[in-house]
Amino acid sequence: MASISTLGIGSGLDLSTILDNLETAEKASLTPISTQQTAYTAKLSAYGTLKSALTTFQTANTTLNNADLFTATSATSSTSAFSATTSGSVVAGKYTISVTQLAQAQTLTSAVQTSNTTALGDTSASSRTMTIALKDGSSKDITLTSDQTSLTGMRDAINSADAGVTATIIKVGDGSYRLSLTSSETGSDNAVTSISVSGDDTLQGIVGYDASASSNVMTESVAAQNAKLTVNNVEIENSSNTIDDALEGITLNLNDTTTSNQTLTIAKDTTKAESAIKSWVDAYNTLLDQFDTLTKYTAVDVGADSQDSSNGALLGDSTLRSIQTQLKSMLTNAQSSSTYKTLAQIGITTDPSTGQLETDDDKLETALSSDPDGVKEMIVGDGKTTGITTTIATNLTSWLSSTGIVQAATDGVSKTLNDLTDQYNTMSTRIDNMVARYKTQFTALDVLMSSLNQTSSYLTQQFDTSSSSTSTTSSS
């Protein structure tokens, strides 16, 4: 008997629709799981957003948590011949400075050569070594092949050797080239004392140099020299034009010599601390905005079956609520030894309706100008256990660590998602198996009904034939 290819043909019943309805009814049990998966996936993403927002605020907090901000100074020069930068704690004051000589690097120049690519060394030499020695006692041996004895070849070999000099080629005219070697550092101690070539007398006669000799094939076109200056009539000599070890906390940058005494003024600079505080306030408010987005709540009509779809993924979340509450409590420093113990005292107040911080610029500037140490004591504290930014920094580090509450919450959501996935897959497989079993049973029913219908038709036909034959016989 032929198999039934379409459910219901054999039985006359709409078995396909019945099977579809059964499958739909069973799969409805997957909807609650799918809904939970969607919610927890959104929550997992929200924890990532929370971590990112906290990290951004941590950057601003780290910047402000720097005691040097509150002792910052600025340097002003009366001339363009020198400038200065300050760092750390520098006492305000004035310095009289006179620059008589700038530091410069030595430059050696070869005699003119007619080509920059033609080999200049002894072609019969099997090998040759160029040795460059500096006044500070260092030296470098550079092995040259026969094709490295041209000006170009020597330039490349020297620059690759880190020998304390930089080589260049100067074209002084058509068919006229010179090799130029300039010390990598300024100052007399960084000058070249000798250049010798062993194994190739011909090349030695082109690039040889001895600072103690009366004449050389390489000439000193620029002499090495140290910077010379006086600060408050105290003579200073340095190998560099950037001098960071003469005045504590002050780096001098020499640009030119002076014809007379000039003045360097060091003054308190509250703008750095003010800028850092304002940036910190902005970062804190941005963090609160992110909190509001993640915990957004939209009221729904009484009797509604679900919350509004625009609600934040971390609405009612204990981890976020704990962080928000703790942050708010850290905006004071009752342990401060200064007169400042709250941000409001320096012009930073809290909007009671939003929790956002607001800054009174005039009050902040006054506090920083009149008592920067007091403001520092409240904000930074001892940098270990006290101070608003110090306390916040400690907590942020804890919250964002691999064992912190944000990671713990993330791991918990991830585990729940994995459990829901396993649950969904198990239930989906059970439903698929059940539907397959129903289909097998319906198919068997269809085949049986088809067979019975065919048997019924056959018997009916036989009865009808027999009855017709009996009627014909009786008529005869």
Burial class (CB in 10 A: 0-12, 13-18, 19+), 262: middle
Tokens representing 467 are 């009855």
Cα–Cα distance, 103 to 169 (Å, whole number) = 24
Handedness of CA 226, 229, 231, 232 (dihedral sign): positive
Q: Contact at 8 Å (CB) between 63 and 280?
A: yes
Supply the pTM of this predicted model: 0.66
According to DSSP, the β-strands at 219-222 and 165-173 are unpaired
The per-residue pLDDT for 476 is 54
Predicted pLDDT at 13: 60
Q: What does the pLDDT read at residue 7?
A: 57
Vertex 82 angle, CA 80 and 86, to 5°: 120
Is 312 in contact with 293 (CB distance < 8 Å)? yes
Four-residue CA torsion sign, 439, 445, 448, 450: negative
Going by C-alpha positions, the residue among 394, 397, 373 that lies closest to residue 385 is: 394
As averages over each run of 10 residues, the pLDDT of the chain (476 residues) reads 48 67 75 77 88 96 94 94 89 94 97 95 92 96 94 97 96 96 96 96 96 93 97 96 94 97 94 95 96 80 52 88 94 90 95 94 95 95 93 96 92 83 80 76 69 71 70 58
The reported pLDDT for the residue numbered 1 is: 40
* Contact indicator for 80, 256 with CB cutoff of 8 Å: yes
Look at residue 2 in the predicted model and tell me its pLDDT: 40
d(CA 411, CA 40): 12
**In whole angstroms, how far apart are CA 400 and each of 212, 278, 288, 319, 395?**
64, 24, 17, 12, 8
C-alpha closest to that of 161 among 194, 137, 133, 189: 133
